[in-house]
């Protein structure tokens, strides 16, 4: 379910049924060879969206561990909160505070493809 690994793990956001309009109950299970199942599988029309906070020093940095999200009452805005280890280190192995935060990503989901509108840094978390 991930697009590509980053240097700090996997960082895409899985936007599934909320964007395709499909019900979570309508999503089929994937049965593995050992009989266990994975659910939900990707809903038709689902997309992956990498969470890039736009750091000047690390323009390719992808934030990881999206832990929760909320959709606005009108259904046009999605907020995504990250938590975990979004850390960047200098050559000596010390954390660079201004480039090591958690984030709230603000996405416009009024159309089929989500558009990142803003990133709010949550320092010292």
Confirm whether pTM is higher than 0.95: no
pLDDT confidence of residue 120: 95
Tell me how many domains the chain contains: 1
Instruction: Verify cis geometry, omega within 30 degrees of 0, for the bond prior to 40.
Output: yes
Which of 111, 84, 121 is CA-nearest to residue 8? Answer: 84
Which band of pLDDT confidence, cut at 50, 70 and 90, is reported for residue 10?
very low
| Structural domain harbouring 78 | 5-122
pLDDT digits (tens, 9 = 90+) for 18-54: 444 444 444 466 778 888 777 666 677 777 788 999 9
pLDDT at 81: 95
- In the predicted structure, residue 121 carries a pLDDT above the cut 70: yes
pLDDT of res. 28: 60
- Could you give the CA distance from residue 121 to residue 102 in angstroms, rounded to a whole number? 6
* C-beta separation of 38 from 29 below 8 A: yes
Q: Which of 77, 75, 66, 90 is nearest to 9 (CA)?
A: 66
Task: Say what the pLDDT of residue 57 is.
Answer: 87
State the DSSP string of 15-31: E-HHHH---GGGPPPEE
């Amino acid at each position: 379910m991930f697009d590509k690994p980053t240097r700090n793990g996997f960082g895409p956001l899985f936007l599934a049924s909320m964007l395709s309009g499909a019900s979570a109950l309508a999503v089929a299970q994937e049965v593995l060879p050992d009989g266990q199942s994975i659910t939900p599988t990707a809903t038709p029309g689902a997309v992956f969206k990498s969470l890039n906070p736009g750091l000047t020093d690390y323009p390719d940095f992808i934030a990881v561990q999206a832990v929760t999200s909320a959709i606005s009452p009108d259904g046009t805005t999605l907020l995504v909160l990250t938590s975990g280890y979004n850390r960047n280190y200098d050559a000596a192995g010390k954390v660079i505070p201004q480039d090591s935060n958690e984030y709230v990503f603000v996405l416009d989901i009024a159309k089929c493809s989500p558009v990142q509108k803003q990133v709010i840094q949550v320092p010292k978390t």
